[in-house]
Amino acid sequence: MRTTLTATAAFQALQQHHTENKGRQVRHLFAQDPARFDKLSVEGAGLFLDYSKNIVDDKTMTLLYALARETEVEAQRDAMFAGKEVNRTEHRAVLHTALRKPRNETLLLGQQDIIPEIHEVLDRMAAFSERVRSGTWRGYDDREITDIVNIGIGGSYLGPKMTCQALRSFAHPRLNTHFVSNVDGHDLDALLSRINPATTLFIIASKGFNTAETMMNAQSARAWFLHHATENDLSKHFVAVSTHLDAVQAFGIAPENMFPFWDWVGGRYSVWSAIGLALMLAIGTEGFKEFLAGAHAMDRHFQDTPLEQNLPVILALIGIWNRNFLGSSSISIAPYHQDLRLFPGYLQQLEMESNGKSVQVDGAKTSTTTCPVIWGDVGTNGQHAYFQLLHQGTDIMAVDFIAALKPTHALEQHQVLLLANCFAQSEAFMRGKNAEEVRADMQAQGLPAAEIDKLLPHRIFPGNRPSNTILMDTLNPGALGALIALYEHKVFVQGAIWGINSFDQWGVELGKVLAKNIAAELGDKAKPEQHDSSTNGLIARARAAL
Ligand SMILES: O=P(O)(O)OC[C@H]1O[C@](O)(CO)[C@@H](O)[C@@H]1O
């Protein structure tokens, strides 16, 4: 039985520390300590994390490290890396980290070293990718492939799509990557009218190969293809990524066109496996290797670095502080890089599907709140839309700013303005602008006293809004790998502290079952209505329309 989190000595010490320091202003902490930035920033695996703009001091951090130690984060981390059955509700090891291990390492799962089979699949992916990229893999009328369509959903979609978008400046110029996930036919339909079956390669990506949305999209894509070509041509245009060879074969894809992975890779952690095939096709084998190496560097950092300098641990602990003590209910992810615009959506699945739970591993209710809402968009766009609420709204929401110092374009002035905005926002969130400062500003502008009094409350910024800033040199495959792994391990540490299983997702099941029933009812108008009056009413309207 796990000790209740709120009953741990460290948690209680943090509660007391929080009570004693209520109302403290980070701007004052900066004024008191000129070395604050140096003390509360850390570097590892090519990433730099500034967490000094959070409402913490040395004592807060010391207590947070004590919380990590008391909840045995290090032992839990080591168990994950060693391949222990960390995903206890599904009786599985959790070994996405093994996917980024170099060829010369070993990792025993039971009696078997799993590194050789991981690299065997990587080698097959590489050989295939190089054939497609070089143009030696040809379609049914002997033309080169120009379009790759990844059909998958959840982790079989978000990872490949986000990474292809993030690394688009490293992509092969002939290959356009597309991603279809939604069972809404508008998604597939909009794409099919823009591509040529003779030069298109479909990747059917699904861990279980039984996900209703993916299977329907795959069947429709296949049917569309067969309008233009024959069954014999399928093997040149359809490949699959899955853990289920039999289901892939039943769909009509031959084993040599299937790239396997393993049940110890969770869907939202699978971009490092063959699920990353679209990315490998886009950026090439070397680029994909760099991507894995960046993540591996973060793995090593996470495993080997003391908690006090450990990026994922610190990011996680700051998150725990903001969530469980300051009551922050969401984190806005603000990438100041256009190519990372899908990163907030990717993190939504990673964090919310992993830690959106209210029951501990031992079955008891959690004693604290767990995963906050993750949301966001690219920075400067958000500034002109919802940042208003972050600055002056009633809830305290945390922000993660993410930026690359050097761009992959030559428009230097854009980069200057971009970074200026990024740093200005974090400064504004932290500092705010108090009544005296606002009044002095308006007086300097020569506004009449009555107008100043009227406007004053509207123009005050409370500040003290917590944020992290993560910097990388350039957004390249290695940096992206490290960034994703940073958040993966952050999620792990938080799950370990909250005592929850970050690797199952039972919460998505109920909707799937109900949808199956309702789909049958929509298809058969004679079926009796058997739901609440709202659901029955909606079904009746749809039956009338279909
Ligand atoms: O890759 P699959 O098996 O199609 O699953 C897709 C997604 O569905 C989920 O299982 C949730 O329903 C996710 O965890 C997963 O990423």
Ligand 1 neighbour 372 (Cβ under 6 A): no
The mean of the pLDDT values for the chain is: 97
Complete DSSP assignment for 135-183: T-SB-TTSPBP-EEEEE--THHHHHHHHHHHHTGGGS-TTPEEEEE--S
CA distance from start to end of the chain: 53
| 165 shares its domain with 250 | yes
Mind listing the pLDDT tens digit for each residue in 165-218? 999 999 999 999 999 999 999 999 999 999 999 999 999 999 999 999 999 999
CATH number, position 530: 1.10.1390
Sign of CA dihedral 188, 192, 195, 196: positive
Global pTM reads 0.97
329 located within any domain:
no
Ligand 1 neighbour 477 (Cβ under 6 A): no
Please write down the HEC assignment for all residues of 42-94.
EEECCEEEECCCCCCCHHHHHHHHHHHHHCCHHHHHHHHHCCCCCECCCCECC
* Cα 281 to Cα 512: distance, rounded to the nearest angstrom: 32
Say what the pLDDT of residue 525 is: 82
Residues whose CB falls within 8 Å of the CB of residue 383, separated by 6 or more in sequence, listed in order:
421, 425
Q: How many other CB atoms sit within 10 Å of the CB of residue 210?
A: 11
CA angle 290, 295, 299 (to 5 degrees): 140
Mutate which of 92, 150, 156 for ligand 1? The one with the most ligand atoms within 8 Å of its CB, which is 156
Q: State the virtual CA torsion across 356, 152, 344, 318 in degrees, nearest 10.
A: 40
Q: Encoding tokens for residue 212? A: 């209703």
Looking at the predicted structure, is the pLDDT value of residue 467 above 70? Answer: yes
Ligand 1 neighbour 267 (Cβ under 6 A): yes
Q: Encoding tokens for residue 530? A: 């058997």
Ligand 1 neighbour 97 (Cβ under 6 A): no
Closest ligand 1 atom number to CA of residue 152: 4
Ligand 1 midpoint to CA 156 (Å) = 7
Ligand 1 midpoint to CA 65 (Å) = 34
Say what the pLDDT of residue 523 is: 87
Mean pLDDT of 428-450: 97
Catalytically active residues, by annotation: 353, 384, 512
Q: How many other CB atoms sit within 10 Å of the CB of residue 2?
A: 14
* Cα 499 to Cα 404: distance, rounded to the nearest angstrom: 34
Buried b (16+ CB within 10 A) or exposed e, 294-317: bbbbbbebbeebebeebbbbbbbb
Residues whose CB falls within 8 Å of the CB of residue 266, separated by 6 or more in sequence, listed in order:
87, 94, 96, 155, 503
Q: What is the DSSP letter of 323?
A: I
Say what the pLDDT of residue 527 is: 84
259 located within any domain:
yes
126 located within any domain:
yes
Mutate which of 268, 351, 505 for ligand 1? The one with the most ligand atoms within 8 Å of its CB, which is 505
| 227 shares its domain with 127 | yes
What backbone torsions phi and psi does residue 200 show, to the nearest 5 degrees?
Answer: -110, 140
Percentages (nearest 5) of helix, strand, coil residues in the chain: 55, 15, 30
* Cα 184 to Cα 516: distance, rounded to the nearest angstrom: 15
* Cα 460 to Cα 449: distance, rounded to the nearest angstrom: 16
For residue 341, which of 156, 154, 166 has the smallest C-alpha distance? 166
Tally of structural domains, the chain: 3
Looking at the predicted structure, is the pLDDT value of residue 529 above 90? Answer: no
Ligand 1 neighbour 206 (Cβ under 6 A): yes
Q: What is the DSSP letter of 402?
A: E
- Domain interval for residue 113: 99-287
Ligand 1 midpoint to CA 155 (Å) = 6
Q: Encoding tokens for residue 274? A: 């063959």
Mind listing the pLDDT tens digit for each residue in 486-517? 999 999 999 999 999 999 999 999 999 999 99
370 located within any domain:
no
How far is it between the farthest Cα atoms of the chain? 82
For residue 68, which of 397, 297, 318, 300 has the smallest C-alpha distance? 318
Looking at the predicted structure, is the pLDDT value of residue 253 above 60? Answer: yes
Q: How many CA atoms lie within 13 A of 194 on its CB side?
A: 13
| 440 shares its domain with 541 | no
| 269 shares its domain with 174 | yes
Q: How many other CB atoms sit within 10 Å of the CB of residue 279?
A: 30
Mean pLDDT of 319-339: 98
Q: How many CA atoms lie within 13 A of 272 on its CB side?
A: 31
Say what the pLDDT of residue 526 is: 84
**Starting at the edge strand that comes first in sequence, how are the strands of the sheet with 147-151 ordered?**
176-180, 147-151, 200-205, 238-242, 258-260
Q: What percent of the chain has pLDDT over 70?
A: 100
29 located within any domain:
no
* Residue 528 pLDDT level (bands cut at 50, 70, 90): confident
| 210 shares its domain with 275 | yes
Ligand 1 neighbour 208 (Cβ under 6 A): yes
For residue 76, which of 62, 64, 92, 94 has the smallest C-alpha distance? 94
CA angle 342, 348, 55 (to 5 degrees): 105
Ligand 1 neighbour 515 (Cβ under 6 A): no
| 450 shares its domain with 520 | no
Say what the pLDDT of residue 346 is: 98
Nearest Cα residue to atom 7 of ligand 1:
154
**Domain boundary residue, one of 287, 302, 329:** 287
Helix (H, G, I), strand (E, B) or coil at 341: coil
CATH number, position 188: 3.40.50.10490
444 located within any domain:
yes
Q: How many other CB atoms sit within 10 Å of the CB of residue 537?
A: 12
Q: Encoding tokens for residue 147? A: 């379009």
Ligand 1 neighbour 46 (Cβ under 6 A): no
Ligand 1 midpoint to CA 340 (Å) = 22
Beta bridge partners of 204: 151, 240
Say what the pLDDT of residue 524 is: 87
| 107 shares its domain with 210 | yes
Ligand 1 midpoint to CA 205 (Å) = 10
Say what the pLDDT of residue 252 is: 93
Q: How many other CB atoms sit within 10 Å of the CB of residue 257?
A: 18
> Does residue 261 contact residue 270 with C-beta atoms inside 8 Å?
yes
CA angle 356, 360, 361 (to 5 degrees): 110
Looking at the predicted structure, is the pLDDT value of residue 1 above 60? Answer: no
Looking at the predicted structure, is the pLDDT value of residue 340 above 70? Answer: yes
Residues whose CB falls within 8 Å of the CB of residue 180, separated by 6 or more in sequence, listed in order:
149, 150, 151, 187, 188, 191, 217, 221
Q: How many other CB atoms sit within 10 Å of the CB of residue 32?
A: 9
Ligand 1 neighbour 242 (Cβ under 6 A): no
541 located within any domain:
yes
Mutate which of 261, 503, 508 for ligand 1? The one with the most ligand atoms within 8 Å of its CB, which is 508
* Cα 63 to Cα 70: distance, rounded to the nearest angstrom: 10
344 located within any domain:
no
Indicate the length of the chain as a whole number. Answer: 546
Provide the pairing of β-strand 330-336 with 373-376.
parallel
Helix (H, G, I), strand (E, B) or coil at 30: helix
| 217 shares its domain with 158 | yes
Say what the pLDDT of residue 194 is: 96
Q: Which of 92-96, 148-152, 281-285, 539-543 has the lowest mean pLDDT?
A: 539-543
Mean pLDDT of 13-33: 97
| 537 shares its domain with 436 | no
Side chain identity at residue 141, one-letter code: D
Looking at the predicted structure, is the pLDDT value of residue 222 above 70? Answer: yes
Mind listing the pLDDT tens digit for each residue in 108-158? 999 999 999 999 999 999 999 999 999 999 999 999 999 999 999 999 999
